[in-house]
């Protein structure tokens, strides 16, 4: 063979190896981003669990019971409370959680901040502090 043919085969192999290395790095970066999003979605779910727990506690403990909860400011989510469910909206994801009271819950949209969940004469009311 001549020198030109050997150089072309070496170039093709070097290019193939470079493409394989770049593809592997892209996959690793994508996997790391996926883990970060999963962690943040889990944190949004935990916020929803705390809100649902506070609503359930206020409902089951009767009139006069109150609990304070905080939605962290670093988590850009919205929590919607209505009869029978709590919904957490985080980016394009929605987390649905069931709550005990199916009636007598004031519909509320909560953004990051501090709130009081109170049972006032059998109705669960959520107010921003």
* pTM greater than 0.75: no
Q: How far apart are the first and last CA of the chain?
A: 83
What per-residue confidence (pLDDT) applies to 12? Answer: 84
Can you give the pLDDT of all 129 residues of the chain as single tens digits?
455 556 677 788 888 888 988 888 887 776 666 666 667 788 888 999 999 999 999 999 999 999 999 999 888 889 999 988 999 999 888 899 999 888 888 888 999 999 999 999 999 999 999
* DSSP run (H or E) holding 79: strand 78-82
Place of tokens 């994508």: 30
Nearest Cα residue to 56 out of 128, 129, 126, 127: 126
């Amino acid at each position: 063979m001549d020198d030109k043919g050997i150089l072309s085969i070496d170039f093709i192999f070097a290019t193939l190896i470079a493409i394989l290395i770049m593809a592997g790095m892209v996959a690793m970066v994508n996997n790391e981003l996926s883990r970060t999003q999963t962690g943040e979605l889990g944190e949004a779910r935990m916020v929803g669990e705390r809100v649902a727990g506070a609503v359930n506690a206020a409902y089951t403990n009767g009139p006069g019971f109150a609990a304070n909860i905080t939605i962290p400011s670093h988590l850009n989510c919205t929590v919607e409370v209505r009869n029978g469910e709590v919904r957490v909206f985080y980016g394009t994801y929605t987390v649905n959680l069931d709550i005990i009271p199916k009636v007598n819950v004031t519909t509320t949209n909560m953004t990051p901040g501090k709130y009081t969940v109170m049972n006032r004469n059998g109705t669960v009311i959520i107010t921003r502090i």
